[in-house]
């Protein structure tokens, strides 16, 4: 019984470590995107076939939303969250908008 528990713990540790630094995929579309400090900066709108990710930079009470396309390599999955690792929230907001729309 103890051997089974140790094996189960080892497999769980290995699979969670592999998923820690993974890039988000189509299953992550619609999830919030966090910055490195844990604050929400927007949401993941789409993952393109060329390795691009579209992020909606703006939330519920924002006067509009700003869709920004960034390389998917700037995002990673950390602790079950989609995290913006290659740039800050200020950098994201300064990107040229793909689309700006009123809500």
pTM: 0.68
Tokens 């920004």: give the residue.
68
Nearest Cα neighbor of 28 from 40, 44, 49 is 44
Residue 64's pLDDT is what?
55
Angstrom distance (rounded) from CA 76 to CA 19? 9
Residue 19's pLDDT is what?
43
Residue 61's pLDDT is what?
56
Residue 70's pLDDT is what?
87
pLDDT in tens, 2-31: 554 444 444 444 444 344 568 888 899 999
Nearest Cα neighbor of 46 from 26, 68, 22, 21 is 26
Set out the domains of the chain in order of their start, with CATH numbers: 23-102 (3.90.50.10)
Q: Is the pLDDT of residue 42 over 90?
A: no
Residue 73's pLDDT is what?
87
pLDDT in tens, 43-84: 898 998 888 898 887 665 555 567 888 888 889 999 899 999
Which class for 42: exposed (0-12), middle (13-18), buried (19 or more C-beta within 10 A)?
Answer: buried
Residue 8's pLDDT is what?
47
Nearest Cα neighbor of 92 from 19, 40, 49 is 40
């Amino acid at each position: 019984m103890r051997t089974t528990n140790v094996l189960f713990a080892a497999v769980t540790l290995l699979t969670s470590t592999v998923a820690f630094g993974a890039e988000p995929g189509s299953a992550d579309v619609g999830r919030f995107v966090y910055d490195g400090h844990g604050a929400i900066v927007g949401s993941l709108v789409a993952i393109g076939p060329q390795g691009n990710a579209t992020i909606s930079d703006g939330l519920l009470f924002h006067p509009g939303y700003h869709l920004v396309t960034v390389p998917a390599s700037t995002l990673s999955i950390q602790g079950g969250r989609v995290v913006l690792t290659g740039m800050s929230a200020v950098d994201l907001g300064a990107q040229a908008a793909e689309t700006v729309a009123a809500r």
